[in-house]
Structure 1
Amino acid sequence: MPQDIIGWFHTIAAIIALITGSLILSYAKGTETHKFIGRVYGVSMLVVCATSFMIYRVHNTFGVLHVFAIISTITLLLEMLPLYSRLYKKPVLTHLAWMYWSVIGLYCAFAAEVFTRLPTILEIKNSYGIFYALVGISAGIVGFVGSYFFKKRKRIWEQRFG
């Protein structure tokens, strides 16, 4: 559970992002509903990313989870750039791809967050190695499954928007 106000903002924003990100992936693209939910997702992810840099649970230092927060922030920016720039030949496809990976990255972070609670629940001492193994394994599995579905969806998007 979050230990302070920053942790609560981070958690609530992450839950909102998980819900809106899932809706974005499942709803029709380009509608007013899509745009509204996408904006909510974007703002909630900005809060998640910003607050992630204020959380120092492990070793009280900048760590691997902060590196993932940087990647998430970059992905979030790259998903919006094609919609506001004329530099892209296929801006909708580029937006869809980056948006998809932004949400999959959020799913990976959620899985890692859930599974890294196991050492505490099981009362395992000196669990930093287990912590990072669980982060890698859980995020890897979710990322692998996400890449499978991405490949399937990409073909559909290329036919529709390409």
Structure 2
Amino acid sequence: MFHSTIGLIHLLSALLAMAAGAVVLLNRKGGLLHKRIGYLYTLLMLVVNATAFFIFRVTGNFGAFHWLALVSLTALLGGMGPVLARKRISSWIYWHYYFMSWSVVGLYAAFWAETLTRLLPMSRFWPAVVVATAATMLVGSFLIRRNAAHLLPARPAESA
């Protein structure tokens, strides 16, 4: 079932990151649990993204999933950068919330793509990945927007 040790590490890290991401999303924000599980999620996602660059089973070369790993890494860094620089970024919480939320949504979209690689022939694979990813992103977008209002403090008025 597993094609390499890297693939196994990638899978296990991704599954643990999915669980950690769900815990962070479903619990109170800003507390010790949020911070600890959030840092665990970040570490796991760094492993997921790093190992993704060593997996070539689907296409045989650098392809769409490698580019998406770069997008995932960008979302992760976009979410953690403001946390680490929060004393210098007044609206850090907004950047953190949106980037980290999209990081988790992207992880779940990647889950569907990975699952479909194992279940479908290549002729049906790409259309199924596009549909599953679009559906995941649509639901994720709805949830991110819906939860932003009560998770984030009122945004200060922009200065003119």
Q: Equivalents in 2 of 1:156, 1:59: separation in Å?
A: 42
1:89 CA displacement: 2.7
* Alignment partner, residue 113 of structure 1: 114
**Maintained 8 Å contact 1:93/1:157:** no
Q: Which runs of 5+ in 2 are unaligned?
A: 156-160
Determine what percentage of the aligned residue pairs are the same residue: 35
Superposition deviation, residue 87 in structure 1: 4.7
Count of aligned pairs: 154
Match of 1:65 in 2: 65
For the aligned residues, what is the CA RMSD?
1.4
Point out where structure 1 has 5 or more consecutive residues left out of the alignment: none
Counterpart of 1:48?
48
Secondary structure at the aligned position of 1:41 is classed as helix
The answer to whether the 8 A contact 2:52-2:69 is kept is yes
What letter matches 1:8 in structure 2?
A: L
Contact 1:109/1:139 (8 A) holds in 2? yes
Q: Using structure 2 for the length normalisation, give the TM-score.
A: 0.90
Alignment of structure 1 residues 8-87 onto 2, 5 Å: 8-85=8-85, 86-87=87-88
Query: What is aligned with 1:149?
Result: 143
* Cα separation, 2, equivalents of 1:143 and 1:72: 13
The whole-number CA distance in structure 2 between the counterparts of 1:157 and 1:38 is: 16
TM-score (norm 1): 0.89
Q: After the TM superposition, which parts of structure 1 deviate over 3 Å for at least 4 consecutive aligned residues?
A: none
CA offsets per residue over residues 25-52 of structure 1, 9 Å max, x none?
0111111111110111010000000000
